[in-house]
Structures are given as C-alpha cells and as structure tokens.
C-alpha cells in the first residue's frame, strides 16, 4: 500500500468553504451527511459532519472519532469500502469528505423489490463478505453493528460499506439516546445484545441477518418493540421460509447460530474459505468479483447525480441548516484543536485524481 501523503501532499488542507452543500443525504445520532460539491473541481462527495460539542461530553467519543478517521484512512484502497478523501475541522465541527455512494442504500432497492432472488442476494453478500473480511484481517476492526444503512451502492451498482463505528461516535445525549443506540437492533448478534465479550463472529451473525433480510424481505427476528426483538434474537429458534433453496438455508443456519463459537466465521481463516466455497456462492468467480469485473445485478437510476434520487426524500428534502459561526460555540470551552489534534488528512494524489464524481462527465 503506498504511503498516504497527508503531510507531503502539495494539496493543502481543505476547509468547509471549499465545498458547496447541495442536499442532506442522511441524519443520525452521529451528525449529518450532506452531498457537497468541491468548488475547485466540481466533484461530488458525501460530507459527514460531527459537532465537537456532542463529542466532548464524552471523552471516549473523541478517541473513537479519531480511530474512525484512521480506519478510513487505512482502508482507502478496498473496492467495496467507502473512500476517505479529506478530513478537516473548524472550531465547531469535524468533517469527513467521503466517496458519494450515488446508488443510495442497498436496502432502498430491496424495499422497491420487496425481496431479492438468491442470485442477486449472493452477489451483494459476496461483495460484503470481501469487505468485512478485509476489515477484520487487515485492520482488526470489528463492525459490531453491521446494518442495512451501512450498505450503499456506487453509481455502477457495486456495494460500498460505510460507517465504521461512526453511528456510535456522537451519541448526542440531548436526543433520545436510548433509541438512537438501539436504532437497528434487528441485526445485532445475541452476545452483543447480552453485553458479553464479543469478537469478529458478531459481524458474521449480522452478515447472516442481512442475508436473510435480502432473501425474505425481513430480518430473521422481529418483535413489537426493542425489548421483544432483543429477547427473540437471544431465545427464539430460527425459522427459515419454505421457498429458500437448501444452499440458502444451510448458509443462513450456520451464520445465525446463537453460540458465537459454533458460528460460521468464528474460525478464521478456515471459515473464510468455507464461506467462499459454499454452494450458495457457486456462481461467484471470486477473482473477477474482487476486480469489480462482475456486472452488478442492480443498475441504479441516475439522471442527475446532484439530485440524490436514490436517497430517502425524508432526508433529501430537509432544508440545510445555516452554518453556525464559531462565535456561537461554547465560550471558553476546552474543545480547542488540541483535543482533536491529528484529525486532518489529505488522501494521496493518485486517489484524489481518481475520486469524486464529476457532475458533467466530459
């Protein structure tokens, strides 16, 4: 991997003035994601912003935000992981300038279709499998909370995994933080819900839960409220619909074992080979897939990338709040740049030259 030229890069650090905000792509406990256009190049990016004030309430979150940035920086070369182009800060906020997944969330497409055929599900599961195992092996990152919102599609319909712990970074205590943390409990492994020590096998449970959702239209364990869902994940027996093939039933059963030690994915690297060689993936050419040479089964409809047509209107129609000037920041607060020192980052030139969507492709 070539060194990231954060310090040596002739391209200067960015500031929020270098980008025009176009529309909101998502809002969560951690902050806001905005579609932005770089003024100097006309390129489109997703800008994730966090209020320092929400982070500083919890010292641990400051560290998590930095870790987040470092994780993104080190995975900058994986084809199915969102790329980080810039990180910078001002007095009030931290900013990450990320690859814009123009195709929107994979699960928005699932809602339109209601459920995917097994071959479509196998394609996206295969790309997801490569991304997850890359995070595990190369970085030792455990996702813990892999969920539908984190699975985006690029303009061509390939998977982009996003959000490494970002959703857990800035849990704003002023909002109903209980719901925010339990936003998508449906995909969490039993051991995570029970507060036990968990390892990488927790991600393979979530992978199984997402796969079940893709092929049936619902997550495997449901209930009327968070408590009931959690109880069902821990206690309820897995029920597989009759229409799934034997191969699909087999892989789901092995991924959705309550005991993490017995779950497929617990013994690496052996289980990675078992997964790749599973009959459910028999049509997947793993070499071609990793090289992005397999044509995705979903081709996102994009008439104008600036319209963010594949994102939920509940976000894209929100008005963009005016920028708060630093004067409105806490007077005499301890959150000066020293606390977030080392946050800023500029990607390598080769990445910058290849990245970002130009609105008018010449």
> According to the per-residue pLDDT averaged within each range, which of 179-183, 213-217, 314-318, 344-348 is highest?
213-217
Q: What is the C-alpha to C-alpha distance for residues 73 and 76, in angstroms, rounded to an integer?
A: 5
Percent composition of the chain: helix, strand, coil (DSSP 3-state, to 5)? 40, 15, 45
Q: Do domains 16-101+302-353 and 104-290 have the same CATH topology?
A: no
Q: What is the C-alpha to C-alpha distance for residues 192 and 257, in angstroms, rounded to an integer?
A: 14
| Whole-number pLDDT of residue 167 | 32
Determine if the peptide bond prior to 269 is cis (ω within 30°).
yes
Prediction pTM value? 0.78
Q: What is the C-alpha to C-alpha distance for residues 220 and 216, in angstroms, rounded to an integer?
A: 9
> According to the per-residue pLDDT averaged within each range, which of 62-76, 98-112, 199-213, 318-332 is highest?
199-213
3-class DSSP assignment, residue 151:
strand
DSSP states along 175-203: S-HHHHHTTTGGGS-HHHHTT----THHH
Task: Enumerate the domain spans of the chain.
Answer: 16-101+302-353, 104-290
Of the candidates 229, 227, 228, the one whose C-alpha atom is nearest the C-alpha of residue 219 is 229
Q: What is the C-alpha to C-alpha distance for residues 172 and 326, in angstroms, rounded to an integer?
A: 20
DSSP states along 103-140: TEEHHHHHHHHSS--HHHHHHHHHHHHHHHHHIIIII-
Give the length of the chain: 362
So which residues are the catalytic ones? 145
Which residue would you say has higher pLDDT here, 12 or 232? Answer: 232
Give, in words, the CATH class of 16-101+302-353: alpha beta
Could you please state the CATH topology (level 3) that the domain comprising 104-290 is classified under: Transferase(Phosphotransferase); domain 1 (1.10.510)
Is the confidence at residue 114, as pLDDT, over 50?
yes
Q: What is the C-alpha to C-alpha distance for residues 237 and 205, in angstroms, rounded to an integer?
A: 14
Q: Burial, 155: exposed, middle or buried (Cβ in 10 Å; 0-12, 13-18, 19+)?
A: middle
The helices-and-strands tally (H runs, E runs) of the chain is 13, 10
């Amino acid at each position: 991997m070539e060194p990231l030229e954060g310090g040596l890069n002739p391209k200067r650090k960015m500031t929020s003035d270098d980008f025009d905000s176009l529309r909101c792509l998502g809002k969560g406990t951690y902050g806001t994601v905005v579609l932005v256009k770089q003024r100097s190049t006309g390129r489109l990016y997703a800008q994730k912003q966090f209020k320092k004030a929400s982070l500083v309430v919890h010292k641990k979150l400051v560290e998590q935000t930095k870790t987040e940035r470092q994780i993104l920086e080190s995975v900058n070369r994986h084809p199915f992981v969102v790329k980080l182009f810039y990180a910078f800060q001002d007095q009030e906020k931290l900013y990450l300038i990320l690859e814009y997944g123009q195709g929107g969330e994979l699960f928005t497409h699932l809602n339109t279709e209601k459920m995917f055929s097994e071959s479509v599900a196998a394609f996206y599961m295969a790309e997801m499998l490569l991304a997850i195992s890359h995070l595990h092996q190369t970085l030792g990152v455990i996702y813990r909370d892999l969920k539908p919102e984190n699975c985006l599609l690029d303009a061509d319909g390939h998977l982009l995994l996003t959000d490494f712990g970002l959703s857990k970074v800035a849990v704003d205590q002023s909002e109903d933080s209980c719901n925010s943390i339990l936003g998508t409990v449906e995909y969490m492994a039993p051991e995570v819900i029970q507060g036990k020590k968990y390892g990488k096998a927790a991600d393979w449970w979530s992978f199984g839960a997402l796969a079940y959702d893709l092929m049936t239209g619902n997550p495997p364990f449901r209930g009327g409220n968070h408590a009931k869902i959690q109880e069902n994940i821990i206690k309820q027996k897995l029920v597989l619909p009759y229409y799934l093939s034997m191969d699909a039933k087999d892989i789901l059963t092995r991924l959705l074992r309550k005991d993490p030690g017995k779950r497929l994915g617990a013994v690496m690297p052996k289980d990675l080979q078992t997964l790749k060689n599973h009959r459910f993936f028999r049509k997947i050419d793993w070499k071609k897939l990793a090289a992005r040479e397999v044509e995705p089964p979903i081709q996102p409809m994009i008439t104008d990338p600036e319209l963010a047509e594949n994102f939920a209107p509940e976000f894209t129609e929100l008005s963009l709040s005016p920028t708060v000037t630093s004067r409105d920041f806490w007077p005499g607060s301890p959150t000066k740049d020293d606390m977030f020192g080392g946050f800023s980052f500029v990607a390598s030139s080769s990445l910058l030259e290849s990245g970002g969507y130009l609105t008018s492709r010449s």
